[in-house]
Amino acid sequence: MQIKGKAHKFGDNISTDHIAPGRLFHLRTNLPELAKHVLEDADPEFAKKVQPGDFVVGGRNFGLGSSREHAPTIIKLAGVGAVLAQSFARIFYRNAINVGLPVLICDTSQIDAGDDLEVDVSKGEIKDITKGITIQAKPLPSVMIRILNDGGLLEHFRKHGGFALDG
Amino acid sequence: MGKTIVEKILSEHSGTDAYAGDIIIAEIDAALVQDGTGPLAVQQLQKLGMVEAAKPDRTVLFIDHAAPSPRKELSNAHKVLREFAAKTGAIISDINEGVCHQRIVEDFMNPGEVLIGADSHTCTAGALGAFATGMGSTDVAIGIASGKTWLRVPETFKVHVTGKFKKGVYAKDLMLHFIGMIGADGATYKALEFSGPAIDAMDMSGRFTLANMAVEAGAKAGLFASDEITKEFLESRGRGDKWRPLSADEDANYEKVFEIDVSDLEPTVSCPHTVDNIKVIKEVEGTKIDQVYIGTCTNGRIEDLRVATKILEGRERHPDTRLLVCPASKEVYLKAIEEGLIAKLISAGAAIINPGCGACVGVHAGILGDGEVCLATQNRNFKGRMGNPEAFIYLSSPAVAAASAIEGVIADPRKYL
C-alpha cells in the first residue's frame, strides 16, 4: 500500500482527548460530524487543512488515554493515510489497526510540518521527498498485518468466520 | 519456568502454556461497554449480523458517562443499549447504578477471570487477581458475540512495595509517585504486578485505586495476588464461593522490578496536562483552585468519602472554591448516607452529584470555565479532559482534595487529620 501526502506535525502525548474530546461526546453516534473536529484540541485548524492521503506525524505515546475507537476512526474518516509516531499508546494502536488505519512506529524527529511524504505501509518505508531521506519503520506484528490486510477486525472476523491469526 | 499472575490466567483461558510474547486466543469471562463506547459496539455487531451475547449474564452495559442524559443524542445512545440488553439478555446498569469499574468489581468479577471492557480503566478489576484490560468497541463487540478475544501475553513489571504509609498519604499518592517515576508511557504494553508487605496490608479500596491507574503508565493491566483481603471483600459481596488463591510463582520472570518504600512518600499531586507531571505537596501548595472534584472510579469509594468527610466535617469550603462530590456507585452513595457522611459533606458546602463519570470525562455536571483550575481525585488531567481545553486539572488523593476545598488553594491535608 503506497500513500502520498503532506506531514502534519504534532508533539508528544497526543491524547484521545486532543483527538476526540469529551465535550463532543454526543457526536460519537455521528462520526462524520465528529470528524470535522478531529484533533481540534491539538490544532484547531487541522480538520480544515488536512487533504486525503496526508499524514499525522506525532512524537512519543501517540493516542494515550481512552479506549474510544472513535479517535482512530475519525482520523481515518478525515482522509489521513497513516499515523507515524515514535511510539503509540497500546489501546489506540490496536484500535487503529482494527479500524483499518495504518500506524507506523518510526523516528519522526527529522520530519517537519509540510514535508511531502511517500509511505509504503507493507514495507514500513517512509520517504521524505522534501528532505530526500528514507526512514524505516518498525515492522508491524504479523497479527496486525493480517487484520490490516483484511480491512480491519470486523472484516477479518467476517472473512474467516472467527480469528485467523496464525501463519 | 515459573509464571507471573497474567501468564497463569492467560494460560488457563487459552488452554496453552502461555508466556510473555505469545499470541493467544483467550476465553473471556465477562465483557463491559459504557454509553460512550457501547452504541458503536452494538453497531458493529449489527454489521456482523451477530446481535447476540455468548455470556449474557456476564455482559454488562453501563449507562454512566452521561447519566442522566444531558442531551437528546445521548438519550438515543442510551436507548440503543437498553434495546440491545432487552434483545440479548445482557445486563443493563442504568443511570445512578454507578461507574462501570466500581460496579464491575462490586458485583461481577472474581480472581483468575478475564474481563475485556470498552473503557481504558477496565484494568481496575485487576485488583481482584483478574486479568482485566481496556479495548475498543469492535474488539469488545467481537468478545461479546464470540466469548473470545486475541491477546499478546504481556511481559510483567513487578512493583514491590514496602514500608508503612505516613499519616495523610494513601494508595493514590503511591500511584502518582510511581507514574511520575516511570512516565506516562513507562509501562506501555506491559502488565504491572503489585506485591510486597505494603500491598499485603492494603485494603481493596487502595488496590482498586492502584489497578485503576495502571493504564496511566501505559500498562495493559495491573494485577494483584488474590489473598485473604480479596477473600474478605468477596465474602462481603456475597461471592465468597468465587474466591481462589492466586499468586505468581517464586521463579516467575519479570522484565523489570521496581522497589518503592512508601514510608518515604509525601502527599503527591499530578499537574497539568499529563499524569506523569508529578510534584510533592510542598511544591504546589498555595495554587488557587476554582473547583474540587471528589469521586470517580479512582477515588469515589466509601473509604475515600470517609477520609474527605473527616477533613471537611465541621468546616466549610472556601467561598471561591466549588466542591463537587460524586459517589462511585449507588451502594457507595447509600452507605455514605447511612454513615452520615453525605449530610456532613453538604453542610461543608459540597454539591452531591449522582453516581457517574460526567464531570471527569467532560460531558456534564462539573465542566470547567476558561482559565479555571480544578483539583480532582480522578485518574486523568489531559488538556480538555473536563470539557474545556482552556482549563487546568490537578490530580490528588481525596485528603488533599478536601483540604484544598477548605483553603481554596492546594493544601496539605495533614494538619486536618
Question: What pLDDT shows up at residue A166?
Answer: 77
Please indicate if any CB of chain B lies within 8 Å of the CB of A22. yes
Distance CA B29, CA B133 (A): 12
Burial class for B190, CB neighbours closer than 10 Å (0-12, 13-18, 19+)? buried
Nearest by CB to residue B118, choosing from A15, A67, A163, is A67
Do residue B118 and residue A69 have CB atoms under 8 angstroms apart?
yes
Domains of chain A: residue spans and CATH: 2-138 (3.20.19.10)
Min Cα distance B160 → chain A (Å) is 24
Residue A165 pLDDT: 86
Residue of B101, B137, B155, B380 to mutate for A, most A C-beta atoms under 10 A:
B137
Quote the Cα angle for B106-B109-B115, to 5°: 130
Express each pLDDT in B208-242 by its tens digit. 999 999 999 999 999 999 999 999 999 999 999 99
| Residue range B328-378, pLDDT digits in tens | 999 999 999 999 999 999 999 999 999 999 999 999 999 999 999 999 999
Handedness of CA A25, A30, A32, A33 (dihedral sign): negative
Pick from B134, B112, B136, B110: nearest CA to B13: B112
Query: What is the rounded average pLDDT of the residues B204-209?
Result: 98
ipTM for the predicted complex comes to: 0.97
Residue A42's pLDDT is 97
Q: Whole-angstrom Cα distance, residue B259 to residue A99?
A: 39
Q: B291 and B368 in contact (C-beta within 8 Å)?
A: yes
In angstroms, how far is CA B33 from the centroid of its own chain?
15
Q: What does the pLDDT look like over B65-82, one tens digit per residue?
A: 999 999 999 999 999 999
Q: Taking a C-beta distance cutoff of 8 angstroms, is the pair B353, B325 a contact?
A: yes
Name all domains of chain B by residue range, CATH numbers in brackets: 5-261 (3.30.499.10), 267-416 (3.30.499.10)
Specify the pLDDT at position A87.
Answer: 98
Mean pLDDT per 10-residue interval, chain A, length 167 residues: 94 97 95 97 97 98 97 98 98 97 97 98 95 96 92 95 84
Residues B246-260 have a mean pLDDT of 98
Q: Vertex A11, ends B135 and B371: CA angle to 5°? A: 90
Q: What is the mean pLDDT of chain B?
A: 98
Residue B397 pLDDT > 70, yes or no?
yes
Gyration radius from chain B CA atoms: 20
Q: Angle, nearest 10°, between helix axes A90-98 and A153-160? A: 50
Residues of A in contact with B152 (CB under 8 A): 141, 143
Predicted TM-score (pTM) of this structure: 0.98
A29: which DSSP letter? G
> Are B156 and B166 spatial neighbours (Cβ–Cβ below 8 Å)?
no
Give the whole-number percent of chain B exceeding pLDDT 90: 99
Chain B residues in contact with A138 (beta carbon < 8 A): none
Does A154 touch chain B if contact means CB atoms closer than 8 Å? Answer: yes
